[in-house]
Structure 1
Amino acid sequence: MAGWAVCLGIHHRSPGNPFHYAFPVHSLEAAKEFYGTVLGCKEGRSSDKWQDYSLYGHQIVCHWAGSDYRCIDYYNPVDGDEVPVPHAGVALETVEQFNSLVARLRAHNIKFVIEPHLRFKGEPGEQYTMFFKDPSGNNLEFKAMTNHEKLFAKYNVPSE
């Protein structure tokens, strides 16, 4: 199935220019359980020091950084939430995908840093968002715009 990727058990058409994101982990076994089983991402190439996955058609790579590694959190206020940075994730195409992922994460007892909720209500950037961590403390955000075509809408968001 060239041009297709599997994540969360669903076939997704790969984006035209998939991004590549490499990040540190403290345990490749824990990363495999989390990214492969919890998130349902298809594993690609691997070695004894790294492994890659298809995350909605994007290439993410877990690099072993030593058993003491844990992400150091910083925070930035966004629409009433203290958002952890750095973070990475995916802007899902539909709210249904978002809700399915929420259900999957809850079924695996994943603790949310920021519970799933609606942000920027009534604004062009209105979106559902959630934050959680992988086993190495890396922050992940998954979101879904209520109108996906407004993902890059230009407008000024008031400071907090």
Structure 2
Amino acid sequence: MALAPFHLAIPVHDLAAARHFYGEVFGCAEGRSSEHWVDFDFFGHQLVIHQAPKLAYQEAAVSNPVDGHDVPVPHFGVVLGWADWEALAERLRSRDTQFVIEPYVRFKGQVGEQATMFLLDPCGNALEFKAFKDIGQLFAK
């Protein structure tokens, strides 16, 4: 079955900063917008940022331990091809991005080995980007 694009709407308390982050830092093409929200082509998916008050999770992140790192919860992101993940990591590093978890290979030599990185948008929304050399490992136990 072919993957269908997802639609995700997230709250941002600074629409201008979030618009810059997703448009300029990530290079996501902007779609429709109003004075309160903006659509982005987020790696082929529809991400909508909505102006909203700051939420508790955006002020003080909660995390769970995974492979020796504190993974922020909630978070969202995309599984990219390996080369695309490496290119994104380099793009973000070249823009002096502050990572929550620096790009690295998680579960090295184990089932589910994957490249991953975590960062926050300017409004405290956590993002994860990952890649698998063997996409068959995506749901492996």
TM-score (norm: length of structure 1): 0.82
Partner residue of 1:124? 111
Cα distance in 2 between the residues matched to 1:124 and 1:56: 26
Q: CA RMSD in A?
A: 1.4
- Out of 71, 75, 81, the residue aligned to residue 83 of structure 1 is 71
Pairing 1:137-156 to 2, within 5 Å after superposition: 137-153=124-140, 155=141
Q: Give 1 or 2: higher helix fraction.
A: 2
Cα distance in 1 between the residues matched to 2:138 and 2:43: 17
Cα distance in 2 between the residues matched to 1:78 and 1:146: 20
Report runs of 4+ in structure 1 exceeding 3 Å deviation.
none
Partner residue of 1:106? 93
Amino acid at match of 2:10: F
Number of residue pairs matched? 138
Shift of 1:146: 2.2
Cα distance in 1 between the residues matched to 2:19 and 2:98: 18
Partner residue of 1:8? none
Partners of 1:69 and 1:136 within 8 A in 2: no
Cα distance in 2 between the residues matched to 1:27 and 1:74: 21
Pairing 1:1-160 to 2, within 5 Å after superposition: 16-66=3-53, 68=54, 71=58, 72-93=60-81, 95-153=82-140, 155=141
1:58-101: CA deviations, max 9, x gaps?
A: 111100003x55714111011111100000000112x2111100
